[in-house]
């Protein structure tokens, strides 16, 4: 039987499919189901920086009623009760998840400033998280803030968390950086043991009748995988740490592509919301079938085989791909009448 095990963040995983952060794992029965279906690790939903700020505001309000020293921006964010879990119930859930399954459970901290993350990182480590995923979603809307300011803030956050805990820390990165290879190397120097490519960017939509700007959420499609494959393939071999791929992983083929690009794990969320948790087992069966048919002894030996450093012609990863794609497009004859 083919060996599907992969190493990720220093952990030996029994397969390549990790469940990325999703409210599906807010339930312990789902977590057990994920393990039974063959998930090799689970990243819990995020604890949000803004949520923790609200909790400490509530605590402060109790201690000193009448003072309002918190940023106005917090008023526009979800109310405290709208988040999945409070800080304490998150830690309790983490402990229960650890007891319920043998596969690694990773905590997710979601924020943009160094703030109180050190304390929360220690809290989740003590509660049993075997790794921490730091989701660093930040949006540049202030014209006075430079790219260097944003990267420095990110690096400070990562460094402070990595120094505070012993468990490995992975950074779930946004795709919108000018030089991803340079940032990746600096994140590694700051202590990150892995990069998760990429955060999805949920843009709001416009309601043209009510003239409102509304949050939208839709599940991914496999087309979202392409930029992840591209950057994983470029980074593979240049980093000591691991690459996790999240965004557009739905099928056997997608998992294989993620590993061939250089990923150590392929993460799934949308596919599980659409097809159910048992989808993991079906994809793993397909992976075994593929490996046996091609006579691969293990999935790990396939890792990075289509990365930029492994292919004889690197043009597809450079500007050549762009030129070739556009210049080789030919117009088809138009159908003028039915
Ligand atoms: C309903 C839902 C909730 C999510 N919550 C979180 C979250 O709390 N933290 C986080 O880092 N990502 C969160 N994500 C993003 C996923 O972890 C994942 O990165 C993204 O959906 C792309 O993977 P996919 O194409 O397999 O869906 C969420 C996604 C969905 C669909």
Give the Cα separation of 307 and 259 in Å (integer). Answer: 9
Which residue's CA is the nearest one to ligand 1's atom 27? 270
4-13, 61-70, 140-149, 241-250: least confidently modelled range = 61-70
pLDDT in tens, 174-213: 998 999 999 999 999 999 999 999 998 778 889 999 999 9
Taking all residues of the chain, what is their mean pLDDT, rounded to a whole number?
Answer: 89
Between 49 and 88, residue with greater pLDDT = 88
Where along the chain do its domains lie?
6-313
Query: Would the CB of 111 count as within 6 Å of ligand 1?
Result: no
What pLDDT is stored for residue 170 in this prediction? Answer: 98
Query: Would the CB of 40 count as within 6 Å of ligand 1?
Result: no
Of 16, 17, 19, 21, best ligand 1 pocket probe by most atoms within 8 Å of the beta carbon: 21
Query: Would the CB of 78 count as within 6 Å of ligand 1?
Result: no
Question: What is the mean predicted confidence (pLDDT) over 59-72?
Answer: 43
What pLDDT is stored for residue 62 in this prediction? Answer: 47
Q: Which two tokens stand for residue 41?
A: 């690790």
Pairing of strands 105-110, 131-135: parallel
In the structure, what pLDDT confidence band is assigned to residue 64 with cuts at 50, 70 and 90? very low
Q: Answer whether residue 172 shows pLDDT above 50.
A: yes
Of 16, 18, 19, 22, best ligand 1 pocket probe by most atoms within 8 Å of the beta carbon: 22
* pTM for the model: 0.89
Which residue's CA is the nearest one to ligand 1's atom 19? 246
pLDDT in tens, 275-318: 999 999 999 999 999 999 999 999 999 999 999 999 888 888 88
Which residue's CA is the nearest one to ligand 1's atom 23? 247
Topology of the domain covering 6-313: TIM Barrel (3.20.20)
Query: Would the CB of 46 count as within 6 Å of ligand 1?
Result: yes
Index of the ligand 1 atom closest to the CA of residue 172: 11
Give the Cα separation of 5 and 300 in Å (integer). Answer: 7
């Amino acid at each position: 039987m083919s060996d599907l095990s992969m190493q990720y963040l220093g952990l030996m995983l029994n397969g390549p499919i990790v469940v990325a952060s999703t409210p599906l794992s807010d339930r312990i029965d789902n977590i057990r189901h994920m393990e039974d279906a063959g998930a090799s690790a689970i990243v819990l939903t995020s604890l949000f920086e803004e949520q923790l700020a609200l909790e400490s505001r509530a605590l402060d309000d109790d201690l000193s009623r009448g003072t309002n020293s918190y940023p106005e921006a917090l008023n526009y964010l979800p109310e405290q009760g709208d988040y999945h879990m409070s800080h304490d119930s998150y830690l309790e859930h983490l402990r229960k998840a650890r007891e319920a399954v043998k596969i690694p459970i990773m905590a997710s901290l979601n924020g943009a400033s160094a703030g109180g993350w050190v304390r929360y990182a220690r809290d989740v480590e003590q509660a049993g998280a075997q790794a921490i995923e730091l989701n660093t979603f930040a949006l540049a809307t202030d014209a006075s803030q430079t790219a260097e300011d944003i990267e420095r803030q990110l690096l400070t956050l990562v460094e402070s968390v990595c120094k505070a805990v012993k468990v490995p820390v992975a950074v779930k990165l946004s795709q919108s950086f000018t030089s991803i290879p340079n940032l990746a190397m600096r994140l590694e120097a700051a202590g990150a043991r892995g990069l998760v490519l990429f955060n999805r960017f949920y843009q709001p939509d416009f309601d043209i009748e009510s003239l409102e700007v509304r949050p939208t959420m839709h599940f991914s499609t496999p087309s979202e995988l392409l930029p992840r494959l591209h950057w994983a393939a470029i980074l593979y071999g240049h980093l000591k740490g691991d690459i996790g791929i999240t965004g557009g992983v739905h099928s056997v083929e997608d998992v294989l592509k993620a590993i061939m690009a250089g990923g150590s794990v392929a993460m799934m969320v949308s596919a599980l919301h659409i097809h159910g948790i048992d989808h993991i087992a079906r994809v793993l069966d397909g992976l075994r079938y593929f490996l046996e048919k091609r006579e691969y002894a293990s999935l790990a030996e396939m890792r990075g085989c289509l990365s930029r450093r492994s292919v004889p012609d690197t043009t597809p990863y450079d500007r050549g791909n762009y030129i070739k794609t556009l210049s080789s497009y030919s117009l088809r004859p138009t159908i003028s009448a039915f």
